[in-house]
Structures are given as structure tokens and as C-alpha cells.
Copies of this chain bind each other. A is one copy, B any other.
Amino acid sequence: MGGDNAPQKNIEGASLALFSYPGAKFIFFGDKEKINPILSKYPNLKKVSDVQHTLNVVSDTAKPSQALRAGRNSSMRLAINAVHEGKASAVVSSGNTGAYMAMSKFVLKTFPGIHRPAIATLIPSATSEFVAMDLGANIICDAKNLVQFSILGSAYAKSVLGISNPRVGILNVGEEEQKGLPILREAADKLYEKKDINFIGFVEADELFTGVVDVVVTDGFTGNLVLKTIEGTAKLIKTFLTKAFSSSLRSKIGYLISKPALQYLSKRINPSHYNGAIFLGLNGIAIKSHGKTDAVGFSSAISVAIDMMQYDFKASVIKMIDDASSS
């Protein structure tokens, strides 16, 4: 029930995901009066779907603590419970991020050895893409959190993305070891000691996009600002590009001729294509879709969830934590 244009975009998104993953099954949590009429328009999806009715919804403005107290029967909470109870393999929501993270943490609990879960996502680079985290779950972090995020990110890149020895960097304002905030230097010192993490040191924000890292780690405050700066810059350039192409008849013709090629660009920088942030470090798969995304974006978030189910991410993390504590 969360985000703009729900539950239309969520149901339509599921129907799109079903094309790519014909074995998938769905449970929709929310108001059946709103869900059922839409679901009827997608007969293939309807065949593999259940609806769990509830009228309680977490609002976009609810604080995490309020949502935890008052949202026990909310669509969001019931969906998370379904993962905990083994009735679902993953939960995908485009509702209130703070409430979703708090509830997921409360119900699913973190892995042993991980104090706080982090929000991670994939971001495109010139050569491929990289995992970025934390994107807003932990506004203030200590060095220990950053080290744990590095373990989570590295395990994700290994198990889900199939990168054998992922390069992990810490985001900083310079590459030199004396640069930046004290907690970053403390985290770097700890990471250099970990033999199962391929820590490459500090990385600057402009270098990320050249493909120098597979995983970049930062606190949730900085990560959120960097992610939103990328979104804002991409949108600004798109505005300028549209203006340029529509500025004269000549440029309009140029656009029509170049259109197939420009669709490549559009796909690479389209936020829908990269939608689906992962709550890493929880006993269960919880994926956050952008609230403003469309059905295509919501189907991307479902794809992230299904991809993750196929790999034993948790075992990979536990192994690295055990190695770290025994070393």
C-alpha cells in the first residue's frame, strides 16, 4: 500500500516480474477492496497470488517508533512477519523507509556479529556497477559499524553479484591516509588487517564512477546525500538535454535520428532500472523500492529480491565474521 500510485504500481510491477521469473508467487498485503479489482486485470498474476487483507497502513510521515507501536496490523508489518514465519521468501515495499527499516530489524533481527543493518544499492559506473552502502539507515556510525558494512557489502558482491574478490573502499575526501574524519581512519586500519576483505583504502566521490571499487562504504548521512546528488545531477542533465534537443527543428531531427542510441543512455541512467535497495544484515530478505517509482521500477525491486533468494548470502557473511573474530 506504500508509495505513490499504490497498489496499482505494485501489482503491475509484480505482473512484469512474473514475465522474467515465471515460477514466482506473490502475497499482497493491504486493502482487498483496492487490490482485488486491479489484480483481476492481470489473470496470470492472479493465479499465483494471495491477498492478505488489512486496512491498517503505515503513513509516509509516521516516525519509526510510532510505526512500531501502532502498526502491528499494518500491511507493512504483516508482510515482514510473513518472511519471519517462512510464509514468504522476501518482502518488497515502497512505503515509509524509516518505519520499514525499524520493523524489519525488530521482526527479522540482525545476523549474529552484525549490530546494525545497512541499506545498500547498485549504482552504475563507466565499466560496470558498484554496491553503495549505507544509504540512510544509520545517520551516525562508528568505525565498527563501517567495518561490519564492509563485510556485508563484500559478501553481497561475492555471493549475489559473483565477483570473486570484490574491491572494497571507504568514501572519503582524499585518498591519503591522513585525510578525512577520524572514524574513517580507524575503520580503514581495522579493514587493512582483515585478510578476507580486499580493502583498497579511501576512495573519492568522483572516482566511484570510473569503476575503481566493487563496494563503497560510508555512513547513512553521507550515503543518502551522495545517492540523492547522483539522482539530482542525472535529472538536471536530462532536463538540459531535452531542452537542447527541442531548441530548434534541426536538433529535433537530430534527436529522432539518434533516438535508438539515446535509449541506451536512458536505460543506463534510468533510476527505475536501478530501483530496489537491500536491507543487508537481516535474517530475511527485505527490499525497499523508491516511493516515487513506477511499475517498471517496482518490478526491478522484485527482481533484486528474487536474485537474492537464489544465493546463500547469510552463510557468506557468517563465514567472514567467524574468520574475522578468530583472526
Contact = CB atoms under 8 A, between A and B. Distances in A.
B240 A237 contact: no
Contact of A171 (B225, B247, B269): B225
B209 A139 contact: no
A121 interface: no
Given A181-B139, A222-B222, A240-B268, A232 B248 contact: no
A250 B261 contact: yes
A126 B241 CA distance: 11
Contacts of A256: 254
Interface string A258-274: 11111011001100000
A204 interface: yes
A227 B230 CA distance: 10
A129 B247 CA distance: 21
A4 to B, nearest CB: 15
Nearest to A257: B254
Interface in A194-242: 204-210, 220-222, 224-237, 239-241
A207 B236 contact: no
A137 to B, nearest CB: 11
A222 B257 CA distance: 41
A127 to B, nearest CB: 10
A72 B16 CA distance: 67
A251 interface: yes
Interface in A147-185: 171, 173, 176, 178, 180-181
B250 A254 contact: no
A206 B228 contact: yes
Nearest to A207: B232
B261 A232 contact: no
15 contacts: A125-B236, A139-B180, A173-B220, A173-B225, A205-B225, A206-B229, A208-B229, A210-B232, A222-B222, A225-B226, A237-B265, A241-B265, A243-B264, A254-B254, A254-B255
